[in-house]
Structure 1
Amino acid sequence: TSQLQSLATAGSEIASHSVTHSNLSIATATSYTNELSASQSQLKAWTGQSISSFAFPYGLYNKNVANQAKKYYAACRGVESGLNSKDNLNVYDIKVENITSSTTDAQIADWLAQAKATNTWLVLVYHSVDVTDSMGVGEYNITPAQFDSQLSAIKSSGITVLTMQQALTEIKSQL
């Protein structure tokens, strides 16, 4: 909890990802409603921040889950690959690029260059940065050395880095 509070205090935006990381697309209405609301409530209690975005576990959801999520969150993201623009923006299914152990610096540089050239929003999803993959996420874990290298690529690209809410505010003003 103290690390979470430190991140929030330092200006990081904290998003919700459910309570139990279950597949919401097959959950009962009571269950997915609890996953959406309880996660938000607990994170707000821990951080003192408003929790306005949600990441669907495994990227899985259905129409009912999405409609319920709209009652709690201003935005959600799945796992569909791509860039977000004012022409294709769905704030309840924000496109992303998932970072895996095999993601190269060249791939990241390409994504950054494409986002910059097309004036689109690139969302990079990191699951775990750990020397030993203590969370057991396999290919979704990267090492601290990989992370440092990727952050250097982002910094050297000159692209503006924003929180989810900052980016949404900017892109919505263009609609």
Structure 2
Amino acid sequence: MRKNLLIFGFVGLGLISLLFFTIPKNSTDNNQKGVLTLTFDDGLKSQYEIAFKEMQKQDYEGTLFIVANWTGLFEGRELMSFDNAKEMQENSWEIGSHSLSHNFQNRLTKISDEELKNELDKSKEILEKEGFKIQTFAPPFGDYNNKVKEETKNYYLYVRPLEWGYNSFENIDPYNLKSKWVMTKYSSDDVCSWIKKANSENLWLILNFHHIGEEQTPWDFSEQKFKEVLECIKNEGIEIKTIKEVLENEKRN
């Protein structure tokens, strides 16, 4: 009887060891949650004075897309300085290009091949000479097609156009990253619901902000609503990463 018990004991231990080493990797990732990236277009002063400062309080970093050839005012709004953007980069923010001119008359899908190359290449060159590490691009107005996509690959590693939705870690196209743009018409609760969905369903959500402050255009988002979104992020416990961080380091099945 004792011999039989010993045999069963060894068999049992063998089965447990076998089960332990053959559990599929996916089953160990059940507690894995989503990732959130906060992006800011145009390099507006309000993004430095409000968004950057408020996010610093929570040790959050974001991705900032700046227009290489603009200083002073842009569409009636004050732009941050390159020194402001450098301070953000020094605090682990990612800086990306938002083209050379951001001009509706120079929409990327409408200009010549040479003009397109100039918008992509020259903007990166200018920003890199200023000391920025440029790997990411956001086309102005979300103006993007296959031709622009293919040309962009010659200069950048990642592109965030304006395609609505979430990114699945199983199938990410680094040259066509989906996002949700935050506008005046959305409440902080609306944005928080997007964040909760990403976190619960293991998705990557990229939020796209413009002016933070008084809501005068459809693309503005008030300071109070922005602070409420940051509070939602804190309460939800979702991981915050820049675009570059996600695509360089995120390895999920």
TM-score computed with the length of structure 2 as normaliser: 0.63
Larger Cα-atom Rg: 2
Partner of residue 125, structure 2: 41
- Give the AA of the match of 2:173: N
Whole-angstrom distance in 2 between the partners of 1:37 and 1:155: 38
Whole-angstrom distance in 1 between the partners of 2:129 and 2:180: 30
Among 164, 170, 177, the alignment partner of 1:87 is 170
Partner of residue 6, structure 1: 87
- Give the AA of the match of 1:3: N
Instruction: State the SS of the aligned residue for 2:239.
Output: coil
Is 1:130 the equivalent of 2:213? yes
CA distance 1:109–1:132, shift in 2 (3 Å): closer
- Give the AA of the match of 1:98: W
The count of aligned residue pairs is 169
What root-mean-square deviation, in Å, do the aligned CA atoms of Structure 1 and Structure 2 show? 1.6
- Taking every aligned residue pair, what percent have the same amino acid on both sides? 28
Preserved contact between residue 184 and residue 215 of structure 2 (Cα < 8 Å): no
Shift of 1:60: 1.2
- Give the AA of the match of 2:252: Q
Relative contact order (C-alpha < 8 Å, sep 6+): which is higher?
A: 2
Instruction: State the SS of the aligned residue for 1:95.
Output: coil
Partner of residue 50, structure 1: 133
Is 1:20 the equivalent of 2:101? yes
Partner of residue 97, structure 1: 180
TM-score computed with the length of structure 1 as normaliser: 0.90
- Alignment gaps of 5+ in structure 1: none
Shift of 1:88: 3.2
Whole-angstrom distance in 2 between the partners of 1:150 and 1:117: 17
- Alignment gaps of 5+ in structure 2: 1-81
